[in-house]
Amino acid sequence: MAADLVPIRLSLSIGDRYTVWAPRWRDAGDEWEAFLGKDEDLFAFESVADLVAFVRSDTDNDLVDHPAWKDLTSAHARALDPAEDGRFDLVAVEELVAEKPTEASVAAVASALAIASSLGSVCELPAVSKFFNGNPSLGTVTGGIENFTGRAGHKRWNLIAEIIGRGWDDVLTAIEGIITGPEVAAALSAEAAEELAEEPEEESDTPESTESTETTETTE
C-alpha cells in the first residue's frame, strides 16, 4: 500500500478550501490515514498558494512524519494544485441527488461521500460517523450508475436523496467546524503564486532524441 500525499480541494458552504490528504498506508504493520492538521484542527487554505507556503514552512502538523512529506515540501507549487480527481464538491451533493442520476453525477456524489466519511473517521466527528454508520445504503453509490437504472434503481436514488436531505447539512457543519487556516508568510505565498502562474515546461521531443541517438550509432 503506497504512502502518498494528495492535495485536495473541498468545496464547502464557506467556499473552496485546499488541504492535503494521506490516503490509507501501512507502516510497521499498522494502517493509517490522515489529513493536514494538528490535534482537532483540519488545516485548509483559501488558495493553493497559501497551502504551498504552509507546507514549505511548517514543521508541526500531523503529516510531518509521513514518508512523502519531505518530498512535498520541496516540490514545485503545481504539485499541490489538486488534480481533477482530487476536487470534492461537498456543497453540490444535495443538488446532484435531487436530479436524475448520470454517470458523472453518481461519480461526483460517490467521491464526495467517500472523502466526507474519511474526514469523519480520521478527525473523529461523531455527527459524520453517525450519518454514515446509520445509512449503509449510501454505499450503493460506489457501484456507479448501474445501481440506479430502471425502476429499482430509481427507488435507490430517491432513497439516497432522502438520506442526504435529512443529514447532509449536519455533515457539512461538522467538517466546517474543525477547519482552520493558519497564517502563512505573505512572501512565501507570493512566491508560490508566481510559480503557479508560470507556464509549464514543455516536454522534450522524445522521437527526435531517439533518432539522433540512432544516427550517432550508425555513424560509428
Cα 216 versus chain centre, distance: 47
**Cα(84)–Cα(142) distance, integer angstroms:** 18
pLDDT tens digits, residue range 122-180?
999 999 999 999 999 999 999 999 999 999 999 999 999 999 999 999 999 999 999 99
Looking only at the bridges linking them, the beta strands covering 179-180 and 6-12 are: unpaired
**Cα(96)–Cα(94) distance, integer angstroms:** 5
Q: Kindly report the pTM of this predicted structure.
A: 0.87
pLDDT tens digits, residue range 109-130?
999 999 999 999 999 999 999 9
